[in-house]
Each structure stands twice: as C-alpha cells, then as structure tokens.
Amino acid sequence: MSIRKMRLRAALSAVFLAIASLFPLAGRAQWMEQSISLQAGWNAIYLKVNPAETECAKVFSDTKITQVSWWNRDRLDDGTGSAVTDFCNWYRNNGEPSTFGRVIGGKRYLVKTTAATTIKIKGTPAIPNGKIYLGELNLVGVDASPYSSSDYTTYYEYFTPFLSSLTSPYFYSVNTSNASVVMSVNTKVTVPSQAIWLTTTGEGEATYMGPLQLSLDSSAAVMAWTSTAVARSLLIKNVTSSTRKITIKREASLAPPTGQGTSVGNVELMIESIDMSSGFAKRVYTPITFPFTTNVAAGATFEFRVRPNLSKMPVKTTPGAAYQSILAISDAGSVIDGVTRAQGTCLYRVGTRVDGALAASETNPAGLWVGTVVLGQVNRAKTLGSAQPEWDAEALMTAPHPFQFRLIVHVADDGTVNVLKEVFTAMKSPAASGSDLLTDRDTAIAYRGLYPNATIRRTASANYPFMKPLTLKGGDFMTAGAELSATFTQAYDDKTNPFVHAFHPQHDNLAFNNKKPSKKESGDEGYGEYESWGVTRTVTLKFLADDPSAAAGDSWNRTVTGGEYTERVQGLIGQGKPIITRGIFRLTKVNDAADLTTQVIH
C-alpha cells in the first residue's frame, strides 16, 4: 500500500517552491490577446489577461513606454501591516530603482509613453476583481462589452455607493498632462482596456464588477480538468433589479506561447440538470450547443454546472496537449430600461481546459472518491410483546424511511482500497498546483505548522468511528461484480460505541460494589452482567457494471462508480443475531492523489 510518511523539510520546500514559481506549467491555460491603444503621456489601463510572460520588461517591451506605475492598494507593509496606498513603479532607463518587476492580471496600471502606440499582451483570461475601498480614491477597470455604447453611469447603475457620489466631481481619467481631469460620467462611453479614478461614499470595502458578478467553485482562475471529469461550477449572479438574459459563447484559444504545450481543439461541455421523473434526484448531463442562453431573475444566481464531454474529445497523449477554449459571458440580448440591448452592457471571459490524456487517465482509479450510501433494507429485528418470532438473519425487508450517509474511499497506486472516517485535503498555498491527502487532525495541524499559508479542507463521515484507514479486500476496485469487504470492532469502551454514554460512568463493565470485571472477560458479547458490549461491523461494497440511475453516462466506472452496499452489525442484540442493512452506494472521484499522508515530520 502506498500510504507514506511525508518527510517535509521547510527550508528545502521553500527553495523548491520559489524555483517552481519561475516556470509556469506547460499547457495549463487558455490563450487570448488584449490590444491596448496608448496615447502620448500618461494612460490608465485595465489588464484583462494574466500575461504569459510576467516580467515588466517583456510585457511593456515597446520602447516608447518609459514608466509603469502599479496602484497596489492591497499591498501590506511588512513592518506595520497597514495598507500602503502609494504606487509601485517600474522604470525603463532613467536610473531610478524599480519597486516592482512583474505584472499581475486583473490589475490596473498607469503607463507613460513618449508617443502614441499600441501594445498587444498575450495571456489567459483574468477573473475580475471588483473590490472597492469606500470613501477612498480607487483606480478601477470595467468589464464592459467592447461593442456597447453604455456610459459609466449605466455600468455602475446598481452600485449605490457610486451613485450617491455623483453630485461631487470624483470621477477621474488620466490624460497627457493631468491625472485629475473630471469626466462627464453620463456621456463617457465605457472602454474595457481603460482604467478610471473613482471615489465613492461610505466606509469599508465593497465588491462590484458590473451588472453580473462571477465566481468559480475553486480559487483557480480557470475551469480545468486534468485528471477527473467531475462537474465544476461557474456562478453568475444578476445584481440588477430586472431579469437579465445571460449569453455564454465559446471562443477558440489562440496558439499557446512557446513552451506552454499545444492546443488540440475546443473544450466540449455538457451541462448538469436534475431529473425527478423517476421519483428521486438524478443528475443528467446534456451536450451544450453554443451560444448558450438563459434568463436570470433580479438578484438571483445561475449555476453553470458543467463537465467535459469526453466522447467528443479523442485522447491526446502528446505531452502538454490540451483541449482549450474561452467562455465569453455577457448580458447580450437583455431588455434594459425597456430597450433590447443586442450587445449588452458587460463581457467577462473565463478559460476552460481539459488535459488531452484525461480520457486515458480515467481508467486509473487511484485517488480520493467521495459519495453517498442510501440504505433501504434491513433484516427483521426482535419485537416486543408476547410474539417472539425466530430471528431471521438473512431475509431483508424494505425500511419505512431510507437512511443516507457519506462514504469516503481512497485507492492507492497499487490498488489498495481504504474506507476513511475523515480526510483533510491540503494545499501548501492557494496557488499550489497539487494537493496532499492527510488522514487525521494531528497530521493536519502539523502540516499547517510547516506551511502557514496552507489551505486545508476536512471531509468526514458520521457513520464511522474515529479510526485509521480501513482496508477493503477481496477484489479490484471499480470492477463489475467485485466484492470488497472489511471488518472492524468498536470496543465496549469506545466513546462511539452505542452502549457508552459520556455522562454515565457505570458503563465500564465493572461490578458496582467492588469495581472488578464481570464473570467473563470484560467486553465479551452476550447478556450476562455487562453494561456494554463490543460491536463488530463488516462493510461490503459490490460494484455494478451499469449505473442504476443512468445519470453518469460515459463517466460510469471511470470517474463515477457504485453498486450495492451491505453492512453486518454483530453485538447489539446478542450472539448469533446480526443486524444487516443493505442499499446502494455511489462514489465520484474528486482527487487523483494516490498517497495518503499519515504523519508530517518537520
């Protein structure tokens, strides 16, 4: 089994991480180009891409550019922790020391040129960041549609702190001679690549990125599938006071820069919906034809939940090969103020990527699987009263109400299968490309001590006691007809044993008068003079060839699997009389990490 001890050396890890950050991972992005027109003098720009090459000297390689200033309001002073509101500067040749050297997408910059010019920056779509500091001067950019004739008042119409400040001349732009020129906010047409100065009323912080607010279900700025085809979500919130028509178009990725792999085609997607026609919730995936449109009510959030349609994307095993596309999200076609706006007001872009070898990698079950067990049958329990039927240990009856709980399973590279009580998914930093699977709380605490910026998420099942990983044996995971089982015991004094009560100290199997063990060894099964008994549980997973609900489609026994779950409980009602429950289980692969970390050593 590939459960390992992770020997982590803080100093070496820091060095390796620093080196790795200098070399972007090949093929892990979707590519577009932003063209920005600059006039002679100062220009305020909004960078809508994460540049492929982040060095200032490469992003601003045009020699007409002499200085770039980064309004980095979120930077914290190393000494005091207070916010720094002045600019960081990069100079080309004037001899002054530069205070920053790399460019970040989604930020705003002031660019000084000696003459008019146009620069083109190749990169990946940057997720918009609409943070605004109320009562302060902010340099902001808008994710406006380049085809729209909307003005800034229309764009910020649903941001109350902005509207309340319109009576004062706090809206600025940067031109050739003066960085504080008042604009006419009611007539100035929005420009996607232009940044503007904005002051609002109030105190604190607010977020506004336009009529639509976007967020992903992870901290990554891309919808990527590298090892599993599980569904992912893009959340689109309508922050306006009227229904908006959401239009999502698919744009082809540009060819990746040298060293960034190859793009082998568009990402084909299927959208998730819930079908209740069979009497229970069944996830159904339907191929998407672009453009995709839907209406979102005022204040409502639409969850664009999708997964790749692997049947439409042949396996590409060439290193760095990936299917890559860009989703362009807008409110095009919405009726705004009684007028249908063909191009809408806003336009956002999000990258999608599917590893070219994903379909092949899905045949490897190694990784973390999380799902649900639904128990619907139980054998006949002992009845009270005069009727005492013989205990039927095998015949199962339908339960009045199904019982549901979470199931967590890990599969190692060598095929070893473990059922887990809990697992901690840990990333060394929010920007880390991979994750570690930790088996217990103490390991997670040690991990946090070694990596203070780590993000750690716990997943647990209430159905199992606190225990070490429980190894299932008897067959191969995800093989139709295979039965994997394991037995474990909750001792008579285990705090999760159902006979033990936290506030009843007499549940210790000791005689009340002399505190000596009962006639038999303490913890034996049976009635006798015992206050609690050990409980033995046998768990069995039997895999099915076909998906009973037909919801997984071509992902069944690839990234989704399941079958029949049986649990045999011995000890609750005496020897020879087990309680047997049976139902279905369903697992989805959520992480391809083939190792479990049981100990972190500093």
The neighbouring-strand residues paired with 536 are: 489, 570
Could you tell me where the DSSP H helices lie in 367-477? 441-450
From 171-180, 281-290, 307-316, the region with the lowest mean pLDDT: 171-180
Domain 367-422+459-491+534-592 has CATH 2.40.160: yes
Output the pLDDT for position 7. Answer: 32
- Give tens-digit pLDDT for 144-153: 888 877 778 8
Which residues make Cβ contacts (< 8 Å) with residue 469, sequence separation at least 6?
A: 3, 410, 418, 419, 420, 439, 596
3-class DSSP assignment, residue 534: coil
**Residue 125 burial (C-beta neighbours within 10 Å; 0-12, 13-18, 19+):** buried
Could you give the CA distance from residue 322 to residue 263 in angstroms, rounded to a whole number? 5
Could you give the CA distance from residue 305 to residue 302 in angstroms, rounded to a whole number? 9
Output the pLDDT for position 186. Answer: 61
Lookup: tokens for 128: 């918009």
Output the pLDDT for position 1. Answer: 37
Higher pLDDT, 422 or 162: 422
- Give tens-digit pLDDT for 523-576: 444 444 566 777 899 999 999 988 876 666 667 887 889 999 999 998 877 666
Could you tell me the maximum CA-CA distance found in the chain, to the nearest angstrom? 101
From 20-34, 106-120, 489-503, the region with the lowest mean pLDDT: 20-34
Residue 9 has pLDDT above 70, yes or no: no
Output the pLDDT for position 178. Answer: 46
| Nearest alpha-carbon partner for 563 in 449, 440, 481, 499 | 481
**Number of neighbours of residue 118 by Cβ within 10 angstroms:** 9
pLDDT band at 496 (very low <50, low <70, confident <90, very high): confident
Output the pLDDT for position 114. Answer: 93
- Torsion from C-alpha of 130, 132, 137, 138, nearest 10 degrees: -20
Output the pLDDT for position 520. Answer: 52
Output the pLDDT for position 403. Answer: 92
**Residue 248 burial (C-beta neighbours within 10 Å; 0-12, 13-18, 19+):** buried
Domain limits, CATH 2.40.160, in the chain: 367-422+459-491+534-592
Quote the DSSP letter at residue 382: P
Which residues make Cβ contacts (< 8 Å) with residue 258, sequence separation at least 6?
A: none
Output the pLDDT for position 14. Answer: 30
Could you give the CA distance from residue 169 to residue 43 in angstroms, rounded to a whole number? 20
Output the pLDDT for position 111. Answer: 92
Output the pLDDT for position 44. Answer: 87
pLDDT band at 11 (very low <50, low <70, confident <90, very high): very low
Q: What is the mean pLDDT of the chain?
A: 80
Element (H, E) at 283: strand 282-287
| Nearest alpha-carbon partner for 136 in 200, 85, 44 | 200
pTM of this structure = 0.62
Per the omega criterion (within 30 degrees of 0), is the bond before 291 cis?
A: yes
**Percent of the chain residues topping a pLDDT of 90:** 37
pLDDT band at 166 (very low <50, low <70, confident <90, very high): low
Residue 21 has pLDDT above 70, yes or no: no
- Give tens-digit pLDDT for 562-590: 999 999 998 877 666 788 999 999 999 88
What is the CA 160 to chain-centroid distance, rounded?
A: 31
Residue 35 has pLDDT above 60, yes or no: yes
Distances (CA, A) of 465 to 35, 470, 523, 536: 58, 11, 18, 12
3-class DSSP assignment, residue 360: helix
- Give tens-digit pLDDT for 352-405: 999 998 866 666 788 999 999 999 998 865 555 555 555 666 678 888 889 999
Which range, 61-75, 175-189, 547-561, is most confident?
Answer: 61-75
| Nearest alpha-carbon partner for 266 in 237, 218, 308, 319 | 308
Mean pLDDT of 302-311: 91
**Number of neighbours of residue 147 by Cβ within 10 angstroms:** 12
Could you give the CA distance from residue 331 to residue 244 in angstroms, rounded to a whole number? 6
From 61-75, 136-150, 161-175, 477-491, the region with the lowest mean pLDDT: 161-175
Output the pLDDT for position 123. Answer: 93
Contact criterion met (CB below 8 Å) for 573 and 384: no
The neighbouring-strand residues paired with 307 are: 270
Residue 76 has pLDDT above 60, yes or no: no
- Torsion from C-alpha of 551, 554, 557, 560, nearest 10 degrees: -50
Domain limits, CATH 2.60.40.10, in the chain: 212-361
**What is the CATH number that goes with domain 212-361?**
2.60.40.10
Output the pLDDT for position 202. Answer: 84
**Residue 572 burial (C-beta neighbours within 10 Å; 0-12, 13-18, 19+):** middle
Which range, 228-242, 286-300, 420-434, is most confident?
Answer: 286-300
